[in-house]
Structure 1
Amino acid sequence: MNLDLLFDPLFRVPFFTGLLLAALLPILGLYLRLRGEWLAALGYAHIAGAGGVLAPLVGVPIIAGALGGGALVALAKGLLRRKGNDTYALFILIGWSVMLLGAAYSHHAQLIGQALIDGQLYFIGSQHLLTALVLGGLVVFGLPFLSRLLLREHLFPWHDRANGRPVRLQSVAFDLLAAVTIGLAATAMGVMAAFAVLFVPAWIAFALAPGWRWALLLAATMSIVAYLLGFVAAVLFDLPFGPALVAVLVLFTPLRLLVRPPAGRV
């Protein structure tokens, strides 16, 4: 076990990229759970994986293929005005089949597909970090505005429509933000790790937090702690990052299963 590896410059960009995504994903996961669309995490992650595998086959960067694929299906979902997990179940099937068929087409695509499954965070570059910073800015400055709409739509679903306020554009904007962020996380952490980071902390916080702001804080804190533990374990014991992170997140699940949720939570 070599502790010096944790401070190796080679891991700086991957570490901070993953740390930023670990803070962003559970926040988006809470809003997806609020909308009853928690399966979006796995749906968008599979679509991003398929886009990443197909990208080199058509001569575009992997990150562009992953983010572009997620953005396209988010727009399609918005135009079709489809809600609920059934749409994302279809995305999972499409993404899974395209990812494996694309990986079978060439050895290079096969290596990319395996990396998306393993979640080898250490090999990502500055493009991921810069994109994560841009998405972080969009979440910080854009989500507070979208948050009011999303919360009002959940608590008073006919309020905006009754007052003649269009909500479709804001809803599509959130779908795009979620899809692109999940797509970036899938190429950095791996498909299943991105799903776990978005799903598990939000799942626990949604049940245990006494209010919405506490839920946001609890989910982000839990995700960051799990990320730090997973990163350290993966580097020190030479493990694939994705499975290590998912294993740590699974250790948090007794909080949801054993602790009684507080009464009167919103």
Structure 2
Amino acid sequence: MSILLGATLGVGLLLVGSTWMWPRRPGESPRPPRRSVVADELALAGIPGVPLTAIVVVAIILAVVAAALAQAIFAVPVLTAVAGALGGLVVAFVIRSRANRRRAANRAIWPDVVDHLVASVRAGMSLPDSIGALAELGPAATRSAFAGFDDEFRRTGDFGSAVDSLKARLADPVADRILETLRMAREVGGTDVTSVLRGLSTYLREDAGLRAEVVARQSWIRNAARLGVAAPWLLLLVLASRPETLAAYDSSAGTVLILAGVAVTIIAYRLMLGLGRLPEERRWFT
């Protein structure tokens, strides 16, 4: 055991001193910071400028309120703890739900965005003007993001920086592929950009149609699974209206039963989501 602790201490000291022992070379530029998954979820949920600290504070407040209500109604410590945990997770559930709805809605509009770009390029417009025109001609859900691109490009004239900002606002892997295609076409030139975009539009329409069909087939299974997960807890709330039931759950056996029920519920729900989840594209061009 002492050898393991000594080795761990040595590795820790080596990592601490690595910044002085192996400094960055003078000509080596630091890597650009990668956007986190949390930042992408916030952007898709429509609250990109909200700091993570504010979300944590709101979650803590909701957890305290939920725990206080549970304690006032049931006066059972384990139920108070469960209610506090659920209250703290409400913010995360809401953000994830909004992001998933926005992501699903975007799948239907990206083919139209690509078609507008193809039409603009074939009409002789430059790539920045083609992208900026989507602020008026594109789908309503993305107009504000493209308006921000148009404003930044006209202000700075830097196409690459404006594209990076637009990718951050959209926070979508399909948008990353479209914008990187346009960036490459602007930097290296080429006459195949319209054919590439048309092929991408066809693929996106086929993928969106297939996903919509699968989701429609899975919807009744998901709803039945959610009802099966919620039914025992609704029954618990009904039974908790009787004093003798609360007394039983306030015992050590009742605490073990509730905690086991929470664990089974979480595992079953996560398995249901995992088995029914379709593969999502990752953002490789952040």
TM-score (ref. length: structure 1)? 0.32
TM-score by length of 2: 0.31
Decide which structure has the larger Cα Rg and report it.
2
- Point out which structure has higher relative CO (alpha carbons under 8 A, 6+ apart): 1
